[in-house]
């Protein structure tokens, strides 16, 4: 029976489980415009507050996936494996991982998103490269996967159109953190892009949407279970996101750091996460059978330069300036910088770097979005000169702000000063890898 939007909203407001029909009516209404933005926002908030059962979440995921065209890639003979991160600060892993695992024998049909809240977006980073196009036609996408075995694109208008609308609304209505909405958003896109299997980076901590390990584990288990229900083997790696990943935050800055990683000069924390996810992809795709074999293959692809050349080929194939690999001057950069120095009068150690505050500060500078129509400034960002556990001498800079406007600088600087904590005792630095949730258990 067809229901009015307000009836479906009221059912979820009152804590009831929505039927498959109600979920499908909601999704089709979002696409057709029958559900107005204010009504969709009301239902999103009701879902955030009251949750969804696993059946509801599964129905929502499938309805969203079927709201548009589903890509099939029978002509691609390589294993098709993608990776997705639930979002963090300084997380540029996708830029390193795609050419890296493609160099090891996988095909990576990666459909990525833009910045959401305080977290950066893969598409925004890539578009910092002059000329880079993320809106490939279907023919271009298929041809590139066949020749380069990798492509990094945004959602076309006809793939999961329901998520395009809901994703934007979640960002500006305080409904980002809902596990059912996260699951359906991630998996509807991934299942529509023609993959065989999927690896997830589920983050927890100050800079993640899931603040605790328990929340992240719940999300990871839900994602893996729904994927299994849909016939796509999926593994999730739980990782920490308490301090920014790597040293760079901001679009051009993160492109530079990604290329440095492919040249074998990446920071240890960023490479730890990249290697863990990449190794899982090689194993899930059947290229390697052990962690040891996967790590050997990955490091060889970097040492030989094969992964770096794969990134250059990816950039050039999608219209970007491939000389970025050799010369970072083609990237938009600001000439204005200011160092953050705290008033320690003796040697101290970095105890913590609040990742959320760093992400918010980057947004203030213009590296992220405050609203759906915000314009990204690819040149601005923050450079971490010190990481947790490192010593800080008197008058030594801990971070460097790359900025354009003095008013934005002052607002960002105020947040960063509060986000940095020093200690006289050197803290213990833990591995960023917490656990692995395998599809074999579902």
Give percent of the chain with pLDDT exceeding 70: 98
Per-residue pLDDT, averaged over 204-209, amounts to 93
Residue 189 annotated among the catalytic residues of the structure: yes
How high is the pLDDT of residue 156?
Answer: 81
pLDDT tens for each residue of 48-82: 999 999 999 999 999 999 999 999 999 999 999 99
How high is the pLDDT of residue 193?
Answer: 87
Using the CB atoms, write b or e for 86-102: b if 16+ within 10 Å.
bbbbbbbbbbbbbbbbb
In a shared domain, residues 45 and 98: no
Domain harbouring 363, CATH code: 3.90.1170.30
Q: If pLDDT is split at 50, 70 and 90, which confidence band does 385 have?
A: very high
∠ at Cα 356 (352, 360), nearest 5°? 125
Reading the block at residue 19, the tokens are 């039927």
In a shared domain, residues 267 and 379: no
Q: Which of 82, 91, 163, 360 is catalytic?
A: 163
Q: Which of 142, 149, 164, 189 is catalytic?
A: 189
How high is the pLDDT of residue 433?
Answer: 98
In a shared domain, residues 154 and 229: yes
In a shared domain, residues 279 and 352: no
Using the CB atoms, write b or e for 27-47: b if 16+ within 10 Å.
bebbbeeebeeebbbbbbbbb
Ordered DSSP codes for 246-314 = SSEESHHHHHHHHHHHHTT---HHHHHHHHHHHHHHHHHTTS-SSHHHHHHHHHHHHHTSHHHHHHHHH
Pairing of strands 150-153, 197-204: unpaired
Backbone angles phi, psi at 383, to 5 degrees: -115, 125
Q: If pLDDT is split at 50, 70 and 90, which confidence band does 116 have?
A: low
Q: When comparing pLDDT for 131 and 176, which is higher?
A: 131
Q: Is 426's pLDDT higher than 90? A: yes
How high is the pLDDT of residue 270?
Answer: 98
DSSP 324: G
Q: If pLDDT is split at 50, 70 and 90, which confidence band does 256 have?
A: very high
How high is the pLDDT of residue 321?
Answer: 97
In a shared domain, residues 338 and 260: no
Using DSSP's 3-state secondary structure scheme, residue 82 falls into strand
- Count structural domains, the chain: 3
Q: Is 403's pLDDT higher than 90? A: yes
Domain harbouring 314, CATH code: 3.40.1030.10
Residue 314 belongs to some domain of the structure? yes
How high is the pLDDT of residue 55?
Answer: 92
Task: Give the Cα separation of 165 and 405 in Å (integer).
Answer: 32
Q: How far is CA 336 from CA 25, 208, 247, 420, in A?
A: 51, 29, 18, 22
Q: Is 196's pLDDT higher than 80? A: yes
**17 is in which domain, residue-wise?**
5-51
How high is the pLDDT of residue 369?
Answer: 78
How high is the pLDDT of residue 50?
Answer: 97
Q: Which of 125, 170, 333, 386 is catalytic?
A: 170
How high is the pLDDT of residue 157?
Answer: 83
In a shared domain, residues 141 and 216: yes
> What is the overall mean pLDDT for the chain?
94
Q: If pLDDT is split at 50, 70 and 90, which confidence band does 202 have?
A: very high
Q: Is 406's pLDDT higher than 90? A: yes
Report yes or no on whether pTM surpasses 0.85: yes
Neighbours of 344 (CB within 10 A): 16
Q: Which of 156, 185, 188, 235 is catalytic?
A: 185
Q: Which of 12, 84, 165, 217 is catalytic?
A: 84
Neighbours of 131 (CB within 10 A): 14
Residue 163 annotated among the catalytic residues of the structure: yes
Residue 118 annotated among the catalytic residues of the structure: no
Q: When comparing pLDDT for 230 and 126, which is higher?
A: 126
Task: Give the Cα separation of 382 and 248 in Å (integer).
Answer: 6
Q: In whole angstroms, how large is the CA radius of gyration of the chain?
A: 21
Residue 84 annotated among the catalytic residues of the structure: yes
In a shared domain, residues 220 and 318: yes
């Amino acid at each position: 029976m067809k229901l009015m939007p307000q009836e479906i909203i009221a059912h979820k407001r009152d804590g009831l489980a929505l039927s498959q029909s109600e979920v499908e009516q909601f999704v089709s209404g979002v696409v057709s415009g029958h559900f107005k933005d204010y009504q969709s926002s009301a239902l999103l908030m009701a879902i955030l507050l009251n949750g969804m059962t696993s059946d509801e979440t599964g129905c929502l995921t499938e309805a969203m996936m079927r709201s548009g065209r589903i890509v099939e890639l029978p002509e691609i003979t390589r294993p098709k494996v993608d990776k997705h991160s639930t979002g963090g600060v300084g997380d540029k892993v996708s830029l390193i991982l795609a050419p890296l695992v493609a160099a090891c024998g996988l095909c990576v049909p990666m459909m990525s998103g833009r910045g959401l809240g305080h977290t950066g977006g893969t598409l925004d980073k890539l578009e910092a490269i002059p000329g880079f196009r993320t809106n490939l036609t279907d023919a271009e996408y298929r041809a590139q996967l066949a020749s380069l075995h990798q492509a990094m694109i945004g959602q076309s208008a006809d793939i999961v159109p329901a998520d395009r609308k809901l994703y934007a609304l979640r960002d500006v209505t305080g409904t980002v953190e809902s596990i059912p909405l996260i699951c359906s958003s991630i998996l509807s896109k991934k299942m529509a892009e023609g993959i065989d299997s999927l690896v997830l980076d589920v983050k927890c901590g100050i800079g993640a949407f899931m603040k605790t390990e328990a929340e992240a584990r719940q999300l990871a288990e839900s994602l893996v279970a729904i994927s299994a229900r849909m016939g796509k083997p999926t593994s999730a790696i739980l990782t920490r996101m308490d301090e920014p990943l790597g040293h760079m935050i901001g679009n051009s800055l993160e492109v530079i750091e990604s290329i440095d990683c492919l040249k074998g000069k990446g920071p240890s924390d960023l490479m730890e996460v990249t290697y863990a996810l990449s190794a899982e992809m090689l194993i899930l795709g059947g290229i390697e059978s052990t962690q040891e074999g996967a790590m050997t293959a990955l490091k060889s692809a970097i040492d030989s330069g094969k992964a770096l050349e794969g990134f250059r080929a990816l950039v050039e194939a999608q219209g970007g300036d491939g000389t970025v690999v050799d010369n970072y001057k083609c990237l938009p950069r600001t000439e204005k910088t200011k160092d953050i120095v705290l008033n320690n009068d003796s040697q101290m150690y970095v105890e913590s770097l609040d990742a959320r505050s760093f992400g918010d500060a980057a947004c203030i500078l213009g590296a992220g979005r405050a609203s759906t129509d915000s314009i990204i400034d690819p040149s601005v960002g923050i450079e971490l000169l010190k990481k947790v556990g490192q010593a800080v001498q008197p008058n030594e800079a801990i971070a460097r702000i790359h900025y354009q406007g003095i008013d934005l600088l002052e607002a960002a600087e105020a947040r960063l000063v509060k986000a940095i904590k020093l200690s006289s005792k050197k803290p213990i630095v833990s591995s960023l890898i917490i656990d692995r949730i395998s599809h074999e258990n579902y």
